[in-house]
Amino acid sequence: MIIANSFQIRYHSHLVGCYWLLAGNVVMVAYTPSALKAELHERGWRMTPQRETILTTFQNLPEGRHLSAEDLCEMLKEGDDPIGLSTIYRNLKLMSRMGILRELELAEGQKRYEINQPSPYHHHHLICVRCSKTVEFKNDSVLKVGAKTAEKSGYQLLDCQLAIHAVCPSCQRSILPT
Ligand SMILES: [Zn+2]
Ligand SMILES: [Zn+2]
- Centroid of ligand 1 to alpha carbon of 147 (angstroms): 19
21: Cβ contacts below 8 Å, ≥ 6 apart: 7, 8, 9, 10, 27
Q: Which ligand is nearest to the CA of 124?
A: 1
Number of domains in the chain: 1
Q: Domain range for residue 136?
A: 2-175
Would you state the pLDDT for residue 79? 83
Say yes or no to pLDDT of 23 above 50: no
Q: Residue 131: give its domain's CATH number.
A: 1.10.10.10
The band of 69, judged by pLDDT with boundaries at 50, 70 and 90, is very high
- Centroid of ligand 2 to alpha carbon of 158 (angstroms): 30
Assign residue 132 a region: left if phi > 0, alpha if psi is -120 to 50, beta otherwise? left
- pTM of the predicted structure, to 2 decimals: 0.74
Say yes or no to pLDDT of 101 above 60: yes
For ligand 2, a single-atom ion, which residues have Cβ within 5 Å?
A: 128, 130-131, 133, 168, 171
* DSSP state at residue 67: B
Say yes or no to pLDDT of 91 above 90: yes
Would you state the pLDDT for residue 29? 55
Say yes or no to pLDDT of 116 above 60: yes
Cβ–Cβ < 8 Å for 4, 120: yes
Chain segment 152-169, per-residue pLDDT in tens:
999 888 888 899 999 999
- Centroid of ligand 2 to alpha carbon of 166 (angstroms): 8
Comparing 51 with 117, the larger pLDDT belongs to 51
Would you state the pLDDT for residue 117? 80
Q: Which ligand is nearest to the CA of 138?
A: 1
- Centroid of ligand 2 to alpha carbon of 162 (angstroms): 18
Would you state the pLDDT for residue 89? 96
Would you state the pLDDT for residue 28? 52
